Amino acid sequence: MDLIEILPEPEASVRCVNCQSQTVDIHGYLFEGIHVLLDCTCTGCNTTFYKTLPISHDALFPVAFSKDGLKSNYSKRAEVWLAKPLIHAITQNLTIRPAIEIKQRKKSKEAILLNCLDDCFGHVYAKLWNAQLLLEKYPEKSIIALIPKKMEWLIPEGVAEVWLVDARFKEMEKYIANLDDLMKKEMTRFSRFYVAVAPVFLDTDKIDDYKFLKIEKFDLRRFNDVKPQVTFVLREDRFWHASRAEEFLNRVLIKFKWQRYFRKLLVWRQNQLVKQTIRRIKAYNPEISVFITGLGSNGTFGQLAMDRRTDNISLTVEREWCEIYAQSHVVVGVHGSNMLIPTSLAAGFIEILPEYKIPHMGEDTVMRYSGRYAMLLGRHVDAFIRPALLAQHVLHMLNFGEIYEEIEGNS
């Protein structure tokens, strides 16, 4: 099942969060923002509660909680990043009322809502991939993309309507108080209305990045024909640490909410590691071009690299970054540095993977190749990798062209 019908007759089976009874009255839906909730009352114990509709991450980690917040049921694996933010947003009335713009492109009797809202860029993009599959499977229905305004540029052709929520990613975990009324009003335009299940783990071999990014990825046939280019994707809230001691210090700063006071120092340290890596790369071949992208502007890289970081994202910046990635032989970044688009477009990638992120390996990278190409062009390295070793990986990947020619020549 990839669709859940909302209109004309909603169907759902729910257990009470308090007594686990299945005799539950469902009064309707609450379009909270990231989540769509069933509004329920248990006929046995009279507990009123919400239950998440099984879409996207909620299909993997369902959440139920009483309206007073005293009873809840969810997986511990999703407690910090999904369940608690949702429960707190509703029970503590943590709300936002952003501007919501509706852009209609075509009309249809039936519509499918693809809810792409999330407080994480990568999650939004992964949800949006479902648009391609829905367009292919349901060409007769209108696909409605509900998405943060700043990601409108990724909407593929064929989507009937775009509903743009003008809020920052960090605000998205709050209850969007003006969304529910708007949604229920707009739903009445259709005879049938569905919500897409929109799984977040898709077979990326079936996803055509060009439909979203509107730019061709790096062509491996040109690997040896263009000047070698390496791009570092950096953030000023996710860091490459050279040792466990540095990582521990950062965790302490986060725990006591001191990180913002030491951010420039942490960025300086990360920049030093990147500079050391670049120097080793250029010592081997001074002609290698190096670019830096990402959010932030602290520190400088001098003549070592072309610094394309910024404090403010715009469509122009996004397009420029995509061009840089599509011309990169290798992109390098720490897990969580918004690596989905860079790894979709570049020839190869190196992801610096913290130990606590091992269960999430592969979630923020895209590998477009199989077999030996996948092993050579997609690498996850230790969180505390030294610049000398990272440079070795980069240089080995830049020699891929010779291997490619040999493999293709023998095919």
Q: What is the pLDDT along the chain (411 residues), one digit of tens a residue?
A: 799 999 887 767 899 999 999 999 999 999 999 999 999 999 999 999 999 999 999 999 999 999 999 999 999 999 999 999 999 999 999 999 999 999 987 778 999 999 999 999 999 999 999 999 999 999 999 999 999 999 999 999 999 999 999 999 999 999 999 999 999 999 999 999 999 999 999 999 899 999 999 999 999 999 999 999 999 999 998 899 989 999 999 999 988 989 989 999 999 999 999 999 999 999 999 999 999 999 999 999 999 999 999 999 999 999 999 999 999 999 999 998 889 999 999 999 999 999 988 988 989 999 888 888 998 999 999 999 999 999 999 999 999 988 888 888 776
3-class SS letters over 155-219: CCCCCCEEEEECCCHHHHHCEECCHHHHHHHHHCCCCEEEEECCCCCCCHHHCCCHHHHCCCCCC
User: For residue 104, what pLDDT is reported?
Assistant: 87
Say whether 148 sits in a helix, a strand or coil: strand
pTM (2 d.p.): 0.93
User: For residue 411, what pLDDT is reported?
Assistant: 66
215-409 CATH fold: Rossmann fold (3.40.50)
Is residue 158 within 8 Å of residue 136, measured between CB atoms? no
User: For residue 304, what pLDDT is reported?
Assistant: 97
Rounded Cα gap, residues 2 and 143, in angstroms: 13
Residues of the chain within CATH 3.40.50 domain(s) are: 215-409
How many other C-beta atoms lie within 10 A of the C-beta of residue 75?
12
